Amino acid sequence: MINRKLLKNLDVTFIVAAALILIMGILILSSATLNVNSDQWFFVKKQLLWIFVGLICLVPILMVDYGVLFRYANYIYGFNIVLLLAVLIAGRTAKGAQLWLNLGPLGGQPSELAKIMVIITFATFLVKRQERLDSFRELIPAFIHVGVPLGLILMQPDLGTSLVFIAITFGMLYVAGGRSSVLLKITGFGTLIVALAIIGHLKFGLPLPLEDYQFSRLIVFVNPYLDGQGGRGAGWHVIQSLVAVGSGGFWGKGLFNGTQVQGNFLPEHHTDFIFSVVGEELGFIGSTFIIGIYFVLLYRILRIAFKSKDQFGTLIAIGIASMWVFHILENVGMSIGIMPITGIPLPFLSYGGSSMLANMISIGLLLNINLRHEKVLF
């Protein structure tokens, strides 16, 4: 049972913001999937089921001090690797990637849970390496720690989740004490290598570790009409998303009234492009409201992080914040045509059981850290 004295530490604002974004997510999903399935509530019912499963998971997560995870980090890391290897061996392929793992009646994307496990194990790793993160040489073990599961995810191939791992890594390294100048140099060098690789591929046909469709989705946002099919190929998603968001105007067309959404012109509008539904049906004002809720949620996570009783709790919270920040910026950005299309879901809004479960577990971890932020004195 949870000690009642701990409940006075509860961050009510964080809970309200999380509940509000969940409610908004169900409302928006109900509109986005109105004409997608013969059962208009099929996706909504499944999403509600995963929210319920997530709420059930919150109970054991809150009952045990998160510090226990520190002792079992090696087992969690090993389980993560085994799970990702299982996907490569026995996973189900969908949309060109082997992301799904079916275990009897159950199934999902282990890469979503892998993010949480990496955050926990990397936080443990960084706590043990305090004061040893000042140079590139000292950072190599950290990159190897994250690089093993990241490499397995790239092999699926899942570029979007791999990018999330990178965001998590640098966010946690910075807060753990990694020297800013070194991290900036690594980021700059990495960006330069990627740019040169893209130029080399386009100009000289040099190979890339990406499928053709992945590469097209990465660069097509620059000009979606230059996709080789006049905007009807890889650029179609971006064009339709921009039409949807732009047609929403200031107030939007109203829930269930979006022409691009209800006419199914906008692809993947209940998953990857859920924010385009917000833009068309709720307009600028609704989009701003949604982003405002995310801002409050992230701000409260930072408060939880820096009020934590130990560095382990701080780093877990920062890892979750880094994950969500990247998800939000990338998903919203690709919906308005300023970021590459990577298939990254919008937390709590996009349809997806694995993603929802991972996000609910994240909420549980954050509340656990929040409840126990005061050090016990004897």
Q: What is the mean pLDDT of each run of 10 residues along the chain (378 residues)?
A: 70 95 96 84 93 92 92 95 87 63 65 94 94 88 95 85 94 92 92 87 78 75 74 80 91 90 85 93 95 97 93 96 96 90 91 92 95 63
CA distance 145 to 343: 25
Q: Quick check: 342 and 97 in contact, CB under 8 A? A: no
User: How many CB atoms lie under 10 A from the CB of residue 361?
Assistant: 20
In this predicted structure, what is the pLDDT of residue 20? 97
Is the C-alpha dihedral spanning 95, 218, 171, 140 positive or negative?
positive
> Which residues lie closer than 8 Å to 95 by C-beta, 6 or more apart?
none
Residue 252: per-residue pLDDT: 92
- Neighbouring C-alpha atoms within 13 Å toward the C-beta of 108: 17
Q: Identify the pLDDT of residue 34.
A: 87
* C-alpha span between 63 and 60 (Å, rounded): 5
Closest of 273, 316, 324 to residue 298, by C-alpha: 324
Cα torsion angle, 237, 239, 241, 244, sign: negative
For position 221, what pLDDT does the model report? Answer: 78
| Cβ neighbours, 10 Å, residue 209 | 11
At 103 the pLDDT is 55
137 by Cβ neighbours in 10 Å (0-12 / 13-18 / 19+) ranks as exposed
Which pLDDT does position 208 carry in this prediction?
Answer: 78
- DSSP one-letter code for 220: G
pLDDT value of position 378: 38
Q: Judge residue 251's burial from the number of C-beta atoms within 10 Å of its C-beta, 0-12 exposed, 13-18 middle, 19 or more buried.
A: exposed
In sequence order, what DSSP letters do the residues of 255-297 get, joined into one string? TT--HHHHTT-STTTTTTTHHHHHHHHHHHHHHHHHHHHHHHH
Token digits for 79?
């389980």
Distance of alpha carbon 244 from alpha carbon 44, whole angstroms? 22
pTM, full prediction? 0.93
Distance CA 221, CA 361 (A): 33
Choose among 18, 95, 66, 129: nearest CA to 305: 66
How far apart, in Å, are the Cα atoms of 98 and each of 1, 19, 33, 84, 187? 40, 33, 25, 11, 29
Which pLDDT value is given to residue 3? 67
Distance CA 134, CA 179 (A): 5
Largest CA distance in the chain: 71
Please tell me the predicted confidence (pLDDT) of residue 285: 96
- Structural contact between residues 187 and 170, judged by C-beta atoms closer than 8 angstroms: yes
